[in-house]
Chains A and B, each alone.
Chain A
Amino acid sequence: MTSAQFEIQLIASLVAIACAIPGTFLVLRKMAMISDAISHSILPGIVVGFFISHNINSPLLIVLAALTGVITVVLVEFIQKTGLVKEDTAIGLVFPAMFSIGVLLIAQNANDVHLDIDAVLLGEIAFAPFDRIYWEDYDLGPKSLWVIGTILLITIALLITFFKELKVSTFDAQLSAALGFSPAIIHYGLMSVASVTTVGAFDAVGAILVVALMIAPAATAYLLTEDLKKMLGISIVSGVFSAIVGYWVANFLDASIAGSITTVLGVLFFITYLFAPKKGIIAVLHRQRQQKVEVSLLTFLLHLHNHTEENERHLDHLQDEINWQRGTSKRVVDLALKNNMITINNQIVSLTDKGKLFTEEAISYIISNKKSEIEEMKSRFFLFRG
C-alpha cells in the first residue's frame, strides 16, 4: 500500500465518521431527506464564497456553504409552517432551487475554474492526496485530511458535550422545551454540524455520497441495536468499514471510489435488512410464522378442552372441522405432542394434565388481556424449546 492509498482510506474513514454522527440523529429525527437537501443547496454558498475570496481553499467557502445549508433548513420549515404543503414537498421545492442557483452561477462566471458540476456531485477522493498543505518546506499532508479532521474533532467534542441534550430533544422535544433545553437551539446546532460536515466531506466524496454516508450507516445501525450509544458506534464502524472496503473494490475494478463506497454501504444495509437478528425481515417473518403456529396450537388445545366427546377429538375430525391444511395440522399436533400437552390413543386426542393447566391459564390471560403474562407463561411451559 502506497502512502497515497493510505491517505485516501484515512480521509474516507474520517469522512465516514464525521457523517455517521449527525446522520444517526437525522435518522432518529426522521429527517434523512434534509441531508439530501443540504448536500445540494450548499452549492451556491461555495460559489459565492469563491467569487468573494477568489481562492478555492478559502475557509470562507466552508462558512458560506454551511450558512446556505442552514438557510435551506429554515426555508423548508418556513414553507412547511404555512400548512399549504407537506415537509417532503417543501424539501423538494427548496433544494433544487438552491442547487440551480449554484449551477447558473458557475455556468455564468466560473467556467475557467476547478468548480464543475461533476466534481460537485461525485467528488474525486482519488485526487485528494495531490492537494497538500506545506509549512515552509515541510509536507503537512493532504488538505482534505486537515479539513475533515478539524470538522470531525469539533463534531466529536459537540457530541460529547451535548449528548444528553441531543438525546432528550430527539426523543421528546416537548419535555426538552419544558426542562429548558430549547429544541430549536439544538435543532439548528445539529443542522449546522450537518451542513459543515457536508461541506467538508463533499470536496472529497461529492454531494451524493455525503448523503449515503450520513443515512446508510445510521439506518443499518438502527436495525441492529436498541441503545443510542451503540447505534452511534455501529454507524461509525459500518461507515468506516464501507469506506475501506469500497476503496479496495474501486481499486480492484478500476472504478470510482465514491461510487464503490456507496455500493458497499448499500450492500451492507441490504444484508442487515435481511439478516438483522431482531428487526431483520427474515427474523420478522420467522416470528410471524411462529406466532401463527402458537395461535393454532392454542386454538387446538382450546377445542380439546371444550369437548369431552370422543368423536370431536378424533384426528380425522380435527382435520375436517378445524379446516386446517394437512401440514398445519401435523405441525400443531407434533408441537403439542413434543411439549407433552396431549396424548393420542387410537386416533383419539386427549389433553394431558400439563395441557389442561396450560390451556386454562392461557384462557384466563387472554380474557384479561395480559400479554406479558402469556409471554412469561410460554417460557414457563418450555414452548418452542428443544
Chain B
Amino acid sequence: MQEQNAIKVDDLTVAYNYKPVLWDIDLVIPEGVLMAIVGPNGAGKSTLIKSILGIIKPLAGSVKVFGKPYQKQRDKVAYVPQKGSVDWDFPTTALDVVMMGTYGSLGWIKRPGKKEKKASLEALEKVGMLPFQNRQISQLSGGQQQRIFLARALVQNASIYLMDEPFQGVDATTEKAIIQILKELRKAGKTVIVVHHDLQTVPEYFDWVTFLNVKKIATGPVKDIFNDDNLTKTYGINYKVSMQK
C-alpha cells in the first residue's frame, strides 16, 4: 500500500522585512510519523509550523495537507501554540480553554453545546486535568497549562497535530505524560509534528526528524539521519551528540 503524505511543502520561502526566515523549503511528512523539528534559535521552526497553518503568508511556495490547501483541511489539523504566546491572566477556566478546540468544527456563530462539553471533559481526563476543570487558568502551573493546551488539541480529534515547543517550561513528570499521549496518537495513526529543543531526547521520543536552519538540512527516520554530520550542518559547530543508546 502506498503511504500517503500528511503534509507536503514545496519551495516555501518566508521573509520578515526582506530577511529570509525560511528559504526554499521542500518537505514531505509521511502520514503516521511522530516527528521532531530541530534547529538553533531563529532557524524558523515556529515559522514553518505557522506557515503550514496559514497564519503566516509565505513569500513563495505552497503547502498541501493531504493533497489540498490547508484552508480546506482545517478540521484535520490541530495546533498547539507556544505556551508563552497567550495571556494566562485572561479571565477564563481550564475547561473553557479546552472547549475552544471545538470552535473550529462549529464554525462561525454556532455555540458549543453538551456534545462539545462532553468531548472537552474527556480530553481533560486524558491529560489528567479533570480535577482542575474549573480552575482559573492563571492558577495553573506551567506544566498544567501545557496539558490544557494539549487537551485543547486533542478535542479537535484531528489527523495531524502541530505543536510548538510543548515541553518548554514543564517538569519531568509532565514531559513524560505528554510524550506518552503523543505516542498513543501515533499508534492511532495520527501524524504528530513537534518543534523540539532537547536533542538528547530525540531518539527516545521520536521516530522521524527534520533538521532546519533557514534551509532544510535533512529529513527522515531518526535511526537513519540523526547523526553528528547533520547536527553539525544544522548547528554550525562540531556537534558530538550522545548517540550511545
Query: Which residues of A approach B to under 8 Å, CB–CB?
Result: 28, 30, 83, 161-165, 167-168, 170-172, 174-175, 177-181, 222, 225-228, 230-231, 369, 371-372
Contacts and interface: CB of A to CB of B under 8 A. Distances in A.
A254 B204 CA distance: 76
Contacts of B53: 177-178
A181 B108 contact: yes
A178 B55 contact: yes
B200 interface: no
A177 B87 contact: no
Interface string B78-99: 0101000111001111000100
A30 to B, nearest CB: 8
B130 interface: no
B67 to A, nearest CB: 19
B117 interface: no
B112 interface: yes
A170 B91 CA distance: 11
B54 A178 contact: yes
Interface residues of B, number: 32
Contacts of A174: 50, 55, 79, 81, 85
Which 8 A-B pairs rank lowest in CB-CB distance, beginning with the nearest?
A: A179-B104, A226-B136, A178-B79, A178-B53, A174-B81, A177-B55, A172-B86, A226-B91
A172 B136 contact: no
B103 interface: yes
A10 to B, nearest CB: 29
Given A226-B136, A369-B171, A179 B103 contact: yes
9 contacts: A28-B90, A28-B91, A83-B17, A164-B111, A172-B81, A174-B79, A174-B81, A180-B71, A371-B141
Contacts of B136: 226
Most chain B CB inside 10 Å of its own CB: which residue of A83, A180, A227, A372: A180
Nearest to A228: B91
Contacts of B86: 171-172
Nearest to A161: B109
B58 to A, nearest CB: 14
Contact of A372 (B81, B138, B141): B141
Nearest to B112: A164
A174 B162 CA distance: 13
A267 B112 CA distance: 39
A165 B108 contact: yes
A181 B110 CA distance: 12
Given A171-B92, A175-B79, A227-B92, A180 B104 contact: yes
B17 A178 contact: no
B14 interface: no
Given A174-B81, A177-B54, A180-B74, 13 more contacts: A162-B109, A168-B100, A171-B92, A171-B97, A172-B81, A172-B86, A175-B100, A178-B77, A178-B104, A179-B103, A181-B103, A230-B91, A369-B171
Contacts of B141: 371-372
Contacts of A177: 53-55
B81 A227 contact: no
Nearest to B152: A175
A32 to B, nearest CB: 14
A326 B93 CA distance: 43
B71 to A, nearest CB: 7
B47 to A, nearest CB: 12
A164 B81 CA distance: 19
A227 B111 contact: no
Most chain A beta-carbon neighbours within 10 Å: one of B50, B100, B112, B136:
B100
A61 B2 CA distance: 64
Q: Tell me which of B50, B85, B104 has the highest count of chain A C-beta atoms within 10 A of its own C-beta.
A: B104
B98 to A, nearest CB: 12
